[in-house]
Amino acid sequence: MLFGIGLIAFVDETVFHQILHWHHFYDLASTDVGLASDGLFHALSWFATIAGLFLLADLRRRDALVWSRWIGGVLLGAGAFQLYDGIVQHKLWGIHQIRYVDDIIVYDVIWNVTALAMIGLGVVLLAAGRASRIRRRSR
C-alpha cells in the first residue's frame, strides 16, 4: 500500500501540478507557498515510493512475494490516497481543487470514481492472492 500511495502521489504531482499546472498542493496562499508545498509533497511521495520498494525487496528476499497481493496492495493504497485527496483535501479542507473551472463536478466524479475503481480492483486482487496462498499451504 505504501508504494501505491507514493506512486499515485508522484503521478498527481507530476501530471496535475507540474505538467498541466492545474493546481498546487496548497492553493490558499501565494504561488511561492504553493510551489514550496509541491516540493514537500513530491519529496514525501518519493520517500513513500522508495520505502515501498524496500518492502518489496524484503518480500522477495524472504520468498514471500505474491504478485497479485502486491499489485492489489499498490492499487488499494493508490485508490485510498486518491479518494482521501478527492474528499478531504479537495472538499472538506478546500486546500486545492483538481482544476479551477466552473463545472468542477465532472472532474470530482472522474477523480473519485477512478479512486473507487482502484480500491475495488485492489481488494479483489488481495483476496485472490490470499486464496492462492491458502491453497498452496494446504498442499
Instruction: List, for residues 112-122, the tens digit of each pLDDT value.
Output: 999 999 999 99
The pLDDT, as a whole number, for residue 138 is 59
3-state secondary structure of 20: coil
pLDDT tens by residue, 41-90 = 999 999 999 999 999 999 999 999 999 999 999 999 999 999 999 999 99
Q: Which three cell numbers stand for residue 101?
A: 473551472
Looking at residue 139, what is its pLDDT? 59
Compute the Cα dihedral for 63, 69, 75, 76 and give only its sign: negative
Among 58, 59, 79, which Cα is nearest to 67's? Answer: 59
